[in-house]
Structure 1
């Protein structure tokens, strides 16, 4: 006897096939557009990440993965020398609208000017694309162009560049003893040098403190200062910088860069430090010690190389300290700063002068040069 075949069971495969066909033929709607990237893009040649990212996006999230193809070509930058050539793609996952096109930058110390290349966004899968080109500039950070200098060649301090800060200001926050003046006894030009002289008169100490605030401010570059430093217990010379926004945000939120500080009782050792705000005052720094002699016996060059998110300190071309934004989550030094030169007397850090300290003491500055 033949088995009975149910029509209901025969119909199930047919129903499944019809359902699958309906899924395959279901309309998914129009494809999103790739939006042309606008604006200018740049990266510093020694950026710590080593990669520039060109953003790309689509007009609406897609219901499947989108592929964006891109390549690079030279303008003035050279593939293989200034950057790594690319011919690749990125994906925008389903439900997302953005991706970044990465290009690796190669530091090129032989190049002394900016260079550029093009990123070509050429085609897409899963989206509608009208090809477009995005230029990218590699910003040179060799800082070979002299942007400003003061060689201190005139008959007096150039007040187009410098301000005098006056008084004791309640010890300048450090219990310092000196009174700053604009007297030519304390601040003067002599034989092509700036002299800042600390003088003792009885129990009174006078000295000089000058700044470039609101006159000469800079963001990034290389600073070189050639100077002879004073010595003696309680003598505290400094070549340093503060954020030009100090009047609005205050200290230490403005950021402080100490290019050079010296404690007179340690005349063969200088310090480089940064001060900043992270739930209150924070600082970090390092020091450099001469192998022989002291900083009072002759000229030395104190240098700061200040790059975006990265700073390096040098004495006579020898690096002794660096800091970057990876180490410090609070990094206020991407805004303009001004210079301060002063010789303090006494205070919390150096202590006060004693019977071993001879006066007057002076800091001699041959020049300050700023390269960008």
Structure 2
């Protein structure tokens, strides 16, 4: 187990799972009618991780919403019913290197999703990405990531949403994000304690548009191991949070997606990340750890 993987909540989770098992056993012994009642009370959607605390609430927003999707990453491998480990060529990357998403850099262990960086050749590097494309998407709700942000040395930690049908569905550029957008809840592009909150729409070519805010984030790279990054999304407002504080609010109706989006977590070797990827330590220090991803609707 890596040093980073040791900083987890596994004891509490294990205790919760054991208690849950004991309750289930007791219910079975008391008769079918009572068992059926308890199963109904404790029923959860199939995409909700049983290890998620039943009273889990987002650090901002989520009022009146129920948990519909979660992963606490307590297993030993990626849950492929929820996630894709992406294998994709992405070039150019930081300082002109050949850049990939490599599924081999995706691991689950010690109670966390681990998104690593690797060197593939002299000027070739692999980052990592998981997404739920084709497996889960949603329109409106509250999504929260708990992430350990690695130092930004030519790569960045990102948590974001992507439109299920793309940014220009049907090839139509309509001048708004209402038909789909990329929603960057966090991009840690800086060696300082700050990150970007950005929305992109109308594709990535000549018609591409974006709106960006840079957030000052005390302790982002040092101090607290995990930080929470949250989006509370309604038809009229998108509210972004960092460790329970609201850091950006969008109310312009032209900038708010009205269509299905799917969650993504990635460790990117990208051109605008500060630092030189050649200087990054290619061990746990460069790994992005995700403690959980939860969505309420």
Q: TM-score normalized by structure 2?
A: 0.68
1:336 and 2:260 are equivalent in the alignment: yes
Q: What's the CA shift string for 1:273-305, capped at 9, x where partnerless? A: 111139821111213223346257511010000
CA distance in 2, matches of 1:188, 1:162: 12
Q: Which of the numbers 232, 241, 248 marks the counterpart of 1:321?
A: 248
- 1:296–1:244 distance in 2 versus 1, CA, 3 Å: farther
| Cα pair distance change 1:280/1:332, threshold 3 Å | farther
Shift of the 346–335 alpha-carbon distance from structure 1 to 2, 3 Å rule, reads closer
Change over 3 Å in CA distance of 1:293–1:216 after alignment to 2: closer
3-state secondary structure, aligned to 1:149: strand
Q: Which runs of 5+ in 2 are unaligned?
A: 1-60
In structure 2, the residue matched to 1:257 is 183
| Alignment CA distance shift 1:288-1:161 (3 Å) | same
RMSD value over aligned CA atoms? 2.8
Cα distance change on mapping 1:346 and 1:255 into 2, 3 Å = closer
Q: Which has the higher strand share?
A: 1
Aligned residue for 1:230, secondary structure, equals: coil
| Contact preservation (8 Å) 2:180, 2:258 | no
**Where does the alignment leave 5 or more consecutive residues of structure 1 unmatched?**
1-139
Structure having greater relative contact order (Cα 8 Å, sep ≥ 6): 2
Q: Aligned-pair distance for 1:359?
A: 2.2
Number of the residue aligned with 1:289: 216
Pairing of 1:263-302 with structure 2 (within 5 A): 263-266=189-192, 268-277=193-202, 280-292=207-219, 294=221, 298-302=225-229
Q: Alpha-carbon deviations, 1:226-257, whole Å to 9, x = none? A: 11011132112111011101184469863110
Distance in 2, matches of 1:194 and 1:321, equals 27
Alignment: residue pair count: 225
> For the residues of structure 2 that align with 1:196 and 1:354, how far apart are their CA atoms?
16
Q: Match of 1:80?
A: none
> For 1:294 and 1:352, how far apart are their aligned partners in 2?
14
Aligned to 1:197: 116
Distance 1:296 1:335, change over 3 A: farther
* Correspondence 1:357 to 2:276: no
Shift in alpha-carbon separation, 1:196–1:296, aligned structure 2, 3 A: farther
CA deviations 1:183-227 (Å, max 9, x no partner) are 2xx111111100000122542312211111121101111111111
Q: 1:153 aligns to what SS in structure 2?
A: coil
Larger Rg: 1
**Pairwise CA distance, 1:144:** 3.2
Q: Answer whether contact 1:175 1:346 (CA < 8 A) is retained.
A: no
Task: Report what 2:87 is aligned to.
Answer: 166
1:175 to 1:355, Cα distance in 2 relative to 1, 3 A: closer
Q: Is the 8 A contact 1:143 1:221 kept in 2?
A: no
TM-score (norm 1): 0.55
